[in-house]
Amino acid sequence: MARQFFGTDGIRGKTNAGVMTAAVAMKVGQAAGRRFLRGSHRHRVVIGKDTRLSGYMLENAMVAGFTSVGMDVILLGPLPTPAVALLTRELRADVGVMISASHNPYEDNGIKLFGPDGFKLSDEDEAAIEAMLEVEQPLAPSQDIGRARRIDDAAGRYIHAVKRSLPHNVRLDGLKIAIDGANGAAYKVAPEALWELGAEIVPVGVTPNGKNINDRCGSTHIALLQETVVASGADIGIALDGDADRLIVVDEQGVPVDGDQIMALIGSTLAARGSLSGGGVVATVMSNLGLERYLNGQGLELYRTKVGDRYVLEGMRARGCNVGGEQSGHMILLDHATTGDGTIAALQVLAALVQSGKRASEMLHLFDPVPQLLKNVRFSGGKPLENAHVQAVIADAEAALAGRGRLVIRPSGTEPVIRVMAEGDDAGEVEATVSRICDAVTEATGAGAAA
C-alpha cells in the first residue's frame, strides 16, 4: 500500500499544507506515542528541531500529541539531528523526534522519528504509525497526561560527545577553520566544538532568523564558504546543512570536496589504523566510479545501496561496516553515531589533516572522479521504463559501457521523473549515452508508454 505520510526520510512537506500541518503533527505525536507505550515505566520522548519559523508550531503540536497519550516530553531546542539520536539513548527515552526538513528551504519542514536505540525507525514501525494516523488514538486518563520540560544542557551534552570522537592525542591548535552552519541546527554547537578543541573559527551561516536556513549558505550552496575560505586565508572550510547530518568540505584554495572524497579519506585512514570494519565502505549507486577504483586499489570494497541514507545504514549494519555515506555529504560513522553527523565527520577529516601535516588541497583529493552526468526526464503518465524501445536502448548502453563505466536509471519516488545517470572514462560517450536514453524515454512517453 502506498504511503501518504512517510517518505524515504520521515514525513516532509510545505508547512501549513498537506501532511505538514499542526493537526497532522499532533496526530503523529499521538500515534508514535501509542506505538512506543511499551512496558510499565514512565514513558518519555525527546524533541529537537532546527531553526525554521514553523518549528515552534510543530513542536507545540507534537507536545500536545505526546502528552495527550501519556508520554512525558523533553524539549531540546535547536540541535542537529544526530544530537537527537544521541540524547534519545542517553536519556533512556522511548522515542526521539527531530523537526527538520534538512537542506530544504524554510517554507518546508519535516518530522524524523528515532527508536529507543537511537536509530531511525524501521519500515515496520513507520507503517504501523502510518496506519494509526487514520484512526483516533485512545487518550490517557486525566491523571496520566504527560508533562513537558525543557533541558538547558542539551547542547553541552552533544558538544562533549562530538569532541570524544576525536583521538585524544589530536588538537586543532593552529588550524584556521571557516565553518558554515547553514543558519540551521548546528549554528551554535559546531563552531563551539571546534573552538573548544583549539581551532581559530571563521563562522558564517550562524545567524538564524527563522527564514534564512539553507538560504545561499550551507552544504548545498557553498559559494559563500568558498569565498570566505580564500578571503580569510583559512586552512579548510566546513559546510553543514540545515539539520547538520551532511558535510561538504572546501580546501584552502576554495575547491569543494564532496562526500565521495570524504569517504575515501576516512575509509583509508581507518583502514591504515586497522579500525575499518567490514572490509570496505558503504555508499549508494550514485557514488563515483573513481571512489570504487580508489578503494579497490587500497584492498577495500565499495558496497553500493539504493539512494538514501537509511539504505546506506541498512547496508552498513548488514555487512558490519562502520563507515558509509552519500556523495551529497551524508556521513555515517557507526563508531560514534547512529545516524549521519556532519560535525563528527568533519572532525575525522580535521584529525587526518593534523596528523598528516599536509595542506587540505594535498590530502582531500585522493582520486580523480570519472566523468559523470545526471539528467532528469519528466513524463506525464505511463511507465516509460517498461517500454520495449527504452529497454533496448538501455541494454545497448549497458553493453557499450561494460567494464568502462556505469549506468544508473531510476524513477523518482516523489514525482513523475526518470533519473538517468551515466559515468565512464570518456566524457563524450557519457553525454551521448545519457542523451540517447533521455530521448528514448521522452519518445515513449509521447507515444503512450505502457501503463
- The total of other beta-carbon atoms located within 10 Å of residue 263's CB is 28
Among 447, 306, 307, CA closest to 390: 447
Which residue of the set 100, 102, 219, 268 is catalytic? Answer: 102
pLDDT at residue 272 greater than cutoff 90 = yes
Q: How confident is the model at residue 379 (pLDDT cuts 50, 70, 90)?
A: confident
Identify the band that residue 167 occupies on the pLDDT scale cut at 50, 70 and 90.
confident
Residues 214, 105: contact at Cβ < 8 Å?
yes
> Which pLDDT score, from 0 to 100, does residue 158 have?
98
Q: Check residue 448 and give its pLDDT.
A: 36
Domain locations in the chain as residue ranges = 6-152, 157-363, 372-446
Comparing 202 with 443, which gets the higher pLDDT?
A: 202
Q: What is the pTM of this model?
A: 0.92
pLDDT tops 50 at residue 93: yes
Q: Residue 83: which of 268, 344, 281 has the closest Cα? A: 344
Instruction: Say what percent of the chain tops pLDDT 90.
Output: 89
Is the pLDDT score of 447 beyond 50? no
Q: What is the pLDDT of residues 8-17, one digit of tens each?
A: 789 999 999 9
Q: What is the mean pLDDT of residues 99-110?
A: 96
3-class DSSP string for 25-44:
HHHHHHHHHHHCCCCCCCCE
| 329-333, Cβ contacts within 8 angstroms, sequence gap of 24 or more | 329/219, 329/241, 329/246, 329/247, 329/248, 329/258, 329/259, 329/262, 330/245, 330/246, 330/259, 331/246, 331/247, 331/259, 331/262, 331/263, 331/266, 333/165, 333/266
Report residue 408: phi and psi, to 5°: -130, 120
Q: Rounded mean pLDDT of 410-421?
A: 84
Mean pLDDT of 98-102: 97
Q: Closest Cα to residue 48, out of 11, 75, 22?
A: 75
Share of the chain above pLDDT 70, in %: 98
- Give the confidence band of 414 by pLDDT, cuts at 50, 70, 90: low
- What integer is the mean pLDDT of 290-309? 96
Quick one: pLDDT at residue 2?
59
Quote the pLDDT of residue 347: 97
Considering only CA atoms, which of 223, 228, 221 is closest in space to residue 242? 221
The answer on pLDDT for 20 being more than 70 is yes
Q: For the residues 118-125, what does the mean pLDDT come to?
A: 93
The domain over range 6-152 is classified in CATH as 3.40.50.300: no
- Domain 6-152 identical in fold to domain 157-363: yes
For 372-446, CATH number out of 1.10.2020.10, 3.40.50.150, 3.30.530.20, 3.30.310.50 equals 3.30.310.50
DSSP code, position 120:
B
What pLDDT is stored for residue 39 in this prediction?
87
Considering only residues 36 and 380, tell me which one the structure prediction assigns the higher pLDDT. 36
On the question of pLDDT at 451 being above 50, the answer is no
Mean of the per-residue pLDDT values of the chain: 94
- DSSP character at residue 144: G
For 154-165, how does the pLDDT look when each residue is reduced to its tens digit (9 = 90+)? 999 999 999 999
Give the mean pLDDT of 133-138.
95
Q: What pLDDT score was predicted for residue 446?
A: 67
Sheet with 280-284: strands ordered across: 301-305, 280-284, 323-325, 331-333
Active site residue 380: no
Neighbours of 439 (CB within 10 A): 13
For residue 413, name the pLDDT band (cuts at 50, 70, 90): low
For residue 187, name the pLDDT band (cuts at 50, 70, 90).
very high
Other C-beta atoms closer than 10 Å to the C-beta of 141 total 8
pLDDT in tens, 274-291: 999 999 999 999 999 999
Single-letter amino acid, residue 170: V
> Is 45:72 a contact under the CB 8 Å cutoff?
yes
Question: Could you confirm whether domain 157-363 is CATH 3.40.120.10?
Answer: yes
What whole-number distance in Å separates Cα of residue 193 and Cα of residue 162? 7
